[in-house]
């Protein structure tokens, strides 16, 4: 839960035609990267459980998404802001997104569609409401008292800054023992707190959950997370929110022994390149830019925090260029990618579409919900990622500026023209087998047919095409016509 505010910046750029539709003794093994051939995660931020269940069957499974990340499911404080979900008051699976039974049905439906479920788990803190109150499911609480769960001795009181809040991110003690924007900070070094947190995660595992995004991991020592993980009833995919800060003593690398770690630099760097630098610079993007090792890096163009707090990233508001950046992410073999799926907002605190009682409404895509994971370019590029899994990069081309192309050796090919004008009369060497391929940027491949342009690769692996400004072509073996 990233709450440091930065000035938003929105860049309006041209649409690409067709892009947008209207207590264990031995620790279980770490799952350091999503397993299997389908590794792309869809973050259905603040969707309710019946809507997630439906989407797994109708879109995520058929399009090849391997995982869905869902918002925190535990009982939380009342309110209509998005961040109320990140203020637990109990570990009952009862929230504005649905009941325990609906959550279980959602997990089962997603599994039936071949989609695994990652829960955004809030284990660093409880609520930030100093006066206390009554939670969503009726549980009473105070800032440092949660009856039947935690009492005052289970929290940190760092005694700094007049209010126990974190101020100095260059002080390790303060970051991990003071309160993040008044959120009551759990004493995660305590055996009791560790056991209680593990019990919550194990309850979710008993419902079939496959992994966890550990919110605010930077605010807990990596050893505390390791101990909690050692108490899990079975192995689970783990990804930790650790925001890189230049010169700060707490670094993302400290946490890689526990599982994947979010690489926050990725989205900022990618946005800067697309907005104001040259795509040619992306030739060694990832580890070559000082980012985390690819095997432990979780990447995204934007997430629910950065799209609100960080003007340095691309978001759904950037439309065509946002789709292109996601296409690059899904084509480039670095890290484990997450596609963001947002609701429309104008205020940073605004919650999802809700009824008068703040209960989250069923999702209706393109009507209050942005559903970027459905945008044809992004959804079709998930299939590209799956088809090219494990293949290296070859046949890199750039014009020194904003036209690039590369193969995923023997399996796929992407070329992006982000110049201000069309590039015509060029041929491209793909290294792919000869044949007719669906251009999945502009068409969808279904049952051996393509709804858009078909590209012919000749016997020597070449094709010729004209590419408009701010556009792309993508081909892969699983979208080759008979």
Check if the beta carbon of residue 202 is closer than 8 Å to that of residue 234: no
The reply to whether 241 belongs to the active site is yes
Q: 46, 215, 260, 263: which is the annotated catalytic residue?
A: 215
Q: Specify the length of the chain in residues.
A: 482
Q: 154, 185, 224, 241: which is the annotated catalytic residue?
A: 241
The reply to whether 419 belongs to the active site is no
Which residues are catalytically annotated?
215, 241
């Amino acid at each position: 839960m990233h709450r440091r505010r930065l000035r938003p910046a929105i860049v309006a750029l041209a649409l690409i035609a067709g892009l947008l539709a209207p207590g264990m003794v031995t620790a279980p093994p770490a799952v350091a990267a999503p397993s299997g051939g389908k590794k792309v995660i869809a973050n259905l931020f603040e969707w309710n459980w019946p809507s997630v269940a439906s989407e797994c069957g109708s879109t995520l499974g058929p399009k090849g998404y391997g995982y869905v990340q869902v918002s925190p499911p535990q009982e939380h404080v009342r309110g209509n802001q998005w961040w109320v979900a990140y203020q637990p008051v109990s570990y009952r699976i009862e929230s504005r997104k649905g009941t325990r039974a609906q959550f279980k049905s959602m997990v089962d439906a997603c599994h039936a569609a071949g989609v695994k479920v990652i829960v955004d788990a809030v284990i660093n803190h409880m609520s930030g409401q100093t006066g206390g109150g009554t939670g969503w499911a009726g549980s009473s609480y105070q800032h440092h008292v949660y009856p039947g769960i935690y009492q005052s001795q289970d929290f940190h009181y760092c005694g700094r800054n007049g209010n126990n809040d974190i101020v100095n991110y260059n002080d390790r003690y303060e970051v991990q023992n003071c309160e993040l924007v008044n959120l009551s900070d759990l004493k995660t070094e305590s055996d009791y707190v560790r056991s209680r947190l593990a019990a919550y995660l194990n309850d979710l595992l008993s419902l079939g959950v496959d992994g966890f995004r550990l919110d605010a991991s930077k605010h807990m020592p990596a050893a505390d997370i390791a101990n909690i993980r050692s108490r899990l009833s079975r192995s689970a995919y783990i990804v930790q929110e650790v925001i890189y800060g230049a010169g700060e003593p707490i670094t993302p690398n400290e946490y890689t022994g526990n599982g994947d770690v979010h690489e926050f630099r990725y989205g900022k760097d990618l946005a800067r390149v697309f907005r104001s630098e040259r795509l040619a610079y992306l030739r060694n993007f990832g580890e070559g830019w000082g980012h985390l090792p690819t095997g432990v890096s979780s990447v995204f163009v934007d997430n629910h925090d950065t799209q609100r707090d960080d003007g340095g990233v691309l978001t759904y508001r950037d439309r065509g260029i946002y789709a292109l950046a996601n296409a690059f992410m899904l084509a480039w073999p670095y890290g484990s990618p997450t596609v963001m799926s947002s609701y429309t907002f104008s205020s940073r605190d605004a919650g999802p579409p809700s009824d008068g009682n703040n209960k989250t409404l069923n999702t209706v895509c393109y009507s209050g919900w942005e559903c970027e994971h459905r945008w044809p370019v992004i959804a079709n590029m998930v299939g590209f990622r799956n088809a090219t899994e494990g293949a290296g990069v070859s046949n890199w081309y750039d014009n020194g500026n904003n036209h690039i192309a590369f193969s995923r050796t023997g399996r796929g090919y992407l070329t992006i023209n982000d110049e201000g004008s069309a590039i015509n009369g060029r041929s491209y060497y793909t290294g792919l087998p000869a044949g007719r391929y669906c251009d999945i940027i502009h068409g969808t491949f279904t049952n051996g047919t393509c709804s858009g342009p078909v590209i012919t690769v000749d016997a020597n692996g070449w094709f010729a095409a004209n590419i408009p400004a701010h556009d792309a072509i993508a081909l892969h073996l699983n979208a080759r016509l008979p």
